[in-house]
């Protein structure tokens, strides 16, 4: 049975702490996601998400503080705008936008975290494994191929090209699915 691989970018103030609470409350959820802790969801560059898909992630979950609760004033609003845009871009690339999810989970919402994790794993399972048909090595080899520190000036566009150019097998029509 296919088990989706999921990267979770969690802000350290809210969602990471919410995941801690899920743990201390011994709530159970599927073990598919690995958390990368960032100071703020606003720290997440769209390239991080694209990189995760390139490296074999079937889904990416971003967790931040609820609107108005950002520890850094408004980082989560920046994330919200970026994710909206990024979902459209993913769709253009043939990656179902549902594979990227943004959720507001506070430090008190262990229960919500469990629900979101379980639901997201189910959703990504139903979408099937992401096959980008990338040529070349995946996995740890990426370390050598991670975008150079000096990225092209218009990075989103450049990254988009890189992935679409190498894409072969077309997935289900993303337009048919409404972004969340």
Partner 1 sequence: MEERIGVFVCHCGSNIAGVVDVKRVAEELGKYPGVAHSTDYTYMCSDPGQNLVKDAIKEHNLTGVIVAACSPTLHEATFRRAGRVAGVNPYQVEIANIREHCSWVHQGEKEAATEKAIKIIKTMVEKARLDEALDPISVPMTHKALVVGAGIAGIQAALDIANAGHEVVLVEKSPSVGGHMAQLSETFPTLDCSQCIMTPKMVEVSQHPRINLMTYSEIDDVAGFVGNFKVKIRKKAAYVDRDACTGCGVCVEKCPVKTESEFDEGLAMRKAIYTPFPQAVPNKPVLDPEHCTYFLKDGKCGICQKVCPVGCVDYEQKDEIIEEEVGAIVVATGYDLYPIENMGEYGGGKYADVITGLQFERMLSASGPTEGEVRRPSDGKEPKEIVFLTCCGSRDPEAHMPYCSKVCCMYLTKHAMLYKHKVHDGQAYVFYMDVRTAGKGYEEFYTRAAEEDDVLYIRGKVSKIYEEDGKVMVWGVDTLTGKKVEIAADMAVLGLATVPNVAAKKLANKLKIHTDEWGFLAEAHPKLRPVESLAPGFYLAGAAQGPKDIPEAVAQASGAASKVAHLFAEEEYHREPIIAWIDEDTCAGCRVCISVCPYDAAEFDEENGIAKIQEAICEGCGACIAACPSASAQQRNLTDEQVYKMVSAALEG
Block residue for tokens 């991670």: 146
CA Rg value for the chain: 16
Residue number with CB closer to partner 1 (5 or 162): 5
Task: Rule CB under 8 A: say whether 162 interacts with partner 1.
Answer: no
Site string for partner 1, 70-89 (x = CB under 8 A): -xxxxx--x---x-------
Site string for partner 1, 2-41 (x = CB under 8 A): -x-x-x---------x-xx-xxx-xxxxxx--xxxxxxx-
Q: Where are the alpha helices (DSSP H) in the chain?
A: 15-24, 46-54, 75-93, 110-127, 142-145, 155-166
- Paired residues of 10 in beta bridges: 37, 63
Give the shortest CB-123-to-partner 1 separation in angstroms: 18
Block residue for tokens 């609107």: 67
Residue number with CB closer to partner 1 (29 or 91): 29
Residue number with CB closer to partner 1 (126 or 140): 140
- Paired residues of 161 in beta bridges: none
What is the spatial distance between Cα 50 and Cα 138, in angstroms, rounded to a whole number? 14
Residue 74, phi then psi, degrees to nearest 5: -145, 25
Q: Site residues (CB under 8 A) for partner 1?
A: 3, 5, 7, 17, 19-20, 22-24, 26-31, 34-40, 42-45, 47-48, 51-52, 55-57, 71-75, 78, 82, 114, 139-140, 142-143, 146-147, 149-151, 153-155
């Amino acid at each position: 049975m296919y088990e989706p691989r999921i990267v979770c970018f969690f802000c350290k103030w809210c969602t990471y702490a919410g995941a801690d609470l899920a743990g201390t409350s011994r709530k159970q959820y599927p073990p598919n996601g690995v958390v990368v802790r960032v100071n703020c969801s606003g720290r997440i560059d769209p390239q991080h998400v694209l990189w995760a898909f390139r490296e074999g992630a079937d889904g990416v979950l971003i967790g931040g503080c609820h609107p108005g609760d950002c520890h850094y004033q408004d980082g989560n609003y920046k994330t919200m705008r970026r994710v909206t845009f990024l979902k459209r871009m993913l769709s253009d690339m043939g990656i179902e936008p549902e594979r990227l999810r943004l959720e507001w989970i506070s430090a008190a919402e262990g229960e919500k975290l469990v629900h979101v994790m379980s639901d997201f794993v189910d959703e990504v399972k139903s979408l099937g494994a992401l096959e980008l048909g990338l040529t070349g090595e995946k996995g740890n080899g990426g370390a050598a191929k991670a975008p150079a520190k000096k990225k092209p000036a218009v990075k989103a566009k450049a990254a988009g090209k890189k992935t679409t150019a190498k894409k072969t097998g077309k997935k289900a029509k993303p337009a048919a699915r409404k972004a969340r």
